[in-house]
Amino acid sequence: MPLHIATPLIESRPLSSAARCPAWLKLEALQVPGSFKIRGVGAACEEYRRRGARRFVSSSGGNAGLAVAYAGRRLAVPVSVVVPESTSERARELLLLEGAELIVHGESWHEANLLALSMLGQADAFLHPFDDALLWQGHASLIDEVARSALAPDAIVLSVGGGGLLCGVIEGLHRNGLGHVPVIAVETTGAASFNRSLHAGRLVELEKISSIATSLGAKRVCEKALQWSRQHAIRSEVVSDRAALVACERFLADHRLLVEPACGATLALAYDRSPALAGFTRVLFIVCGGATATIDQIRAWTAERA
């Protein structure tokens, strides 16, 4: 039994109507730890345990850290998560609720990550949030489920942070004979590291992240994401924080599910009837989820951008 669940794949009338094209949703927000991350993290944790790991270490205060904490609890392997002081109270609570050891260190993720790496002993496994082939293999199970369904999408829309989800979805498309299905990769302004690298034709590191979509805040995407762009049709789109926030609010009203702005970015393409969707007849939106969002936070951010 894997640590993730097979999620519902449903048609969305509200998104189809907004986008003026048939829209389908893969509801990763319903994973127990709140996002698709448990697919790859769960598979990687199981593999590292098989190889003898006695502890899992993470430096993510977001959905990746939560997935590691959940996987560790399910596999009865202790978990240590090092997060920076900027980590929200909500994220800290959720990590503690999963029984992880929480170490708060440093001003930014960089310092927290350095401490996490320095803590690694012989029997520890470090779980990277997006750059690990085991992770991509696990994320690919999402497309295995789509391939077993009656839906044959002609485009897939997903959000990109460090590119782990992108690599997993494309691996899943190729291993299911769907290598011809294009992917529309969405980021927010201020976190568009994939967009920058794609246009430069090489990996570009952003100087800083200035988007509220923190789960998309990787300054640099993984090398594999750029490699895939040379072998697979990927279109890159960038939306504003405000568009992502409005999409979160509308999605809550339409489907009764609260997601993070990182996921709202993907949904914004439908709600804003993006030209990138023109001509497609069955578009699959990956509702990647997000466990640390609260409606109060989303509304406060929206009010700041009114």
Ligand X SMILES: *Cc1c(COP(=O)(O)O)cnc(C)c1O
Is 162 a binding residue for ligand X by CB under 6 A? The answer is yes
If the CB atoms of residues 153 and 163 are measured against ligand X, the closer one turns out to be 163
- Residue 159 interacts with ligand X (CB under 6 A): yes or no: yes
Of 22 and 39, CB closest to ligand X: 39
Question: 158 in helix, strand or coil?
Answer: strand
Q: What is the C-alpha separation between 207 and 205, in angstroms, rounded? A: 6
Residue 289 near ligand X by CB under 6 A: yes
Shortest distance in whole angstroms from residue 220 CB to ligand X? 11
Mark residues 241-280: x for contact with ligand X by CB under 6 A, - for none: -------------------x-xx-----------------
Q: Does 69 bind ligand X (CB under 6 A)?
A: no
> Per-residue string for binding with ligand X, 85-124, x by CB under 6 A?
----------------------------------------
Q: Are 222 and 285 in contact (CB under 8 A)?
A: no
Q: Report if residue 171 touches ligand X, rule: CB under 6 A.
A: no
163 lines the binding site for ligand X (CB under 6 A)? yes
**198 contacts: CB under 8 Å, gap ≥ 6:** 226, 229, 234, 236
Q: Is 212 in the site for ligand X (CB under 6 A)?
A: no
Q: CA–CA separation, 266 vs 244, rounded Å?
A: 8
- Where b means 16+ CB within 10 Å and e means fewer, 86-101 reads ebbeebbebbeebebe
Which residues are CB-contacts of 199 (< 8 A; sequence separation ≥ 6)?
none
- Please classify residue 134 by burial: count the beta carbons closer than 10 Å to its beta carbon, then call 0-12 exposed, 13-18 middle and 19+ buried: middle
165 scored as a contact of ligand X (CB under 6 A): yes
Interface with ligand X includes 37 (CB under 6 A)?
yes
| Nearest to ligand X of 57, 166 (CB atom) | 166
**Hey, what are 78's tokens?**
């202790």
Give dist(CA 187, CA 289) in Å, integer: 15
Taking a C-beta distance cutoff of 8 angstroms, is the pair 123, 60 a contact? no
Closer residue to ligand X (CB): 22 or 64: 64
Is the four-CA dihedral 35, 171, 41, 57 of positive or negative sign? Answer: negative
Q: Number of H helices and number of E strands within the chain?
A: 13, 10
Among 65, 84, 138, 164, binds ligand X (CB under 6 A): 164
**Contact code string over 124-143 relative to ligand X, x by CB under 6 A:** ------x-------------
The least CB distance from residue 194 to ligand X, in Å, is 8
User: Which window, 7-15, 211-219, 238-246, 267-275, contacts ligand X (CB under 6 A)?
Assistant: 211-219
In the complex, the residues that contact ligand X under the rule CB under 6 A are 35, 37, 63, 130, 159-166, 215-216, 218, 260, 262-263, 288-290
